[in-house]
Amino acid sequence: MSRMKLGVLVSGRGSNLQALLDAATDPTWPAEVALVLSNQPGVQALDRAAAAGVPAAVIDHRDVAARAAFEAALDAALRDAGVELVCLAGFMRVLSADFVARWFNRLVNIHPSLLPAFPGLDTHARAIKAGVRWSGCTVHLVRATVDQGPILIQAAVPVLPEDRPEDLAARVLTAEHRCYPRAVAWLASGRWTVVGDTVRLADPAPVSRRVHLNPVG
């Protein structure tokens, strides 16, 4: 079976990278991580790639004078590795509209909220402050506007009365690790199309694209 080649962009711990690496150990999973790129040297994500025997490199944005040159270096490395789908996994750089266009519908992100609610940073603190009963994560195709794009899958987790941001973050992260490999498998299967701002699956998986975890009694 031919497996889709993934390029994963990281900036930190790489726990979602690890979820993809773990999924790729199953020979029936339709993708493999071909390259890991970090804009930060010395991060744990690079150690995870090394432990899995996956090629990895650092393209430090601070060493490049202009964003266009930084993104050109990313693009060249991805294409040289034969990458077919780019996965953002805690990549803390906003990509330009030009880069997004070059990888249109081949660039996917995971965000720690139920988009369109709470785009951007500090999602967990904002969710708690807003008093919402549910939060979660969203895997979506990337568009030029930050944290927007056709949604592939969401998972909902409860926001408990005693939650601190770090408590909610841990609960959401568990959901992320389940959702990202599932969404990538759908993309790698080729059984999807984008109609307007909606992703349609030609042969939907037998589970819902919105999953509730740890429901409140």
Between CA 152 and CA 192 the distance in angstroms is: 10
Quick one: pLDDT at residue 217? Answer: 27
- Predicted confidence at residue 201, as pLDDT, reads 84
128 pairs with which residues across the strands?
none
Helix or strand holding residue 134 (H, E): strand 134-141
pLDDT number for residue 213? 45
Strand partners, 58: 38
Q: Which ranges constitute the DSSP H helices of 157-208? A: 165-189
Q: Flag whether pLDDT at 204 surpasses 60.
A: no
pLDDT in tens, 118-168: 999 999 999 999 999 999 999 999 999 999 999 999 999 999 999 999 999
Q: Return mean pLDDT, the chain.
A: 93
Judge whether residue 113 has pLDDT over 70.
Answer: yes
> What are residue 33's DSSP bridge partners?
6
Q: What is the pLDDT of residues 81-108, one digit of tens each?
A: 999 999 999 999 999 999 999 999 999 9
Q: So what's the pLDDT on residue 125?
A: 98
- pLDDT over threshold 70, residue 211: no
Three-class SS state of 53: coil
Q: Tell if the pTM clears 0.85, that is, is over it.
A: yes
* Triad 66, 69, 72: Cα angle to 5°: 150
**197 has a pLDDT exceeding 50:** yes
Residue 29 pLDDT > 50: yes
Active site residues: 111
d(CA 71, CA 107): 14
Residue 208 has pLDDT above 50, yes or no: no
Q: Which domains does the chain have, with CATH numbers?
A: 4-212 (3.40.50.170)
pLDDT tens per residue across span 157-196: 999 999 999 999 999 999 999 999 999 999 999 989 999 8
pLDDT value, residue 203: 64
Percent of the chain clearing pLDDT 90 (strictly above)? 88
